[in-house]
Structure 1
């Protein structure tokens, strides 16, 4: 097997692992009460986003093998993300500040107070 086929094969195995983990997670979540599902909304979105990122990636064989060694890759990456969540909140605060500035400027232009 040539390198590209080997690489593709490992990335497909990784994608299958992630797909199975996501399906198991989904099945577990759907067995919960509506309140528990609501409480897990952030986790549901993040794990889906993590899976999408992993599906889109093209990892080296070494990286794909390393990632597949995680017993629960989605959960492990999710927990890693939670440790870095401050950057997400900083980005959100900046987006809100930028949008506020845009709205204030738009309002001034529309009211004729700025040209």
Structure 2
């Protein structure tokens, strides 16, 4: 097995690990009440996005091996994300502010108050 095949094999194993963890998480969620599922909606969405990131990544063998040492990689990355969520909220606030500016300018143009 050459280096590229080895790298690809490790990345496939990593993807499989994350997908198994996601599948287990989904089964856990399906056993919950509708209210509990609703309360966990953000976690569900983020864990799906995290799993997507892993399925589309190409890590070095060293990085893939390091990731695989985590007992629950999906949960660990999710918890790390929660600690960094401020930047996500900043981006969301900026998007809202940009859209507000666009809507105000559009309204002025449509009402004939700006050209």
**Which bracket does the TM-score occupy, shorter chain normalised?**
over 0.9
Unaligned runs of 5+ in 1: none
Question: How far apart, in 1, do the equivalents of 2:15 and 2:81 lie?
Answer: 20
Partner of 1:40: 40
Moved over 6 A (4+): none
Q: What is residue 21 of structure 2 aligned with on the other side?
A: 21
Unaligned 5+ segments in structure 2 are none
SS at match of 2:71: coil
Query: How far apart are the structure 1 equivalents of 2:48 and 2:114?
Result: 44
- The alignment's TM-score, normalised by the length of structure 2, stands at 0.99
Deviations along 1:10-67, one digit per CA (max 9) or x if unpaired, are: 0000010001000000000000000000000000000000000011000000000000
The 5 A counterparts of 1:24-103 are 24-103=24-103
* Aligned length, in residue pairs: 115
- The CA deviation at 1:74 is 0.6
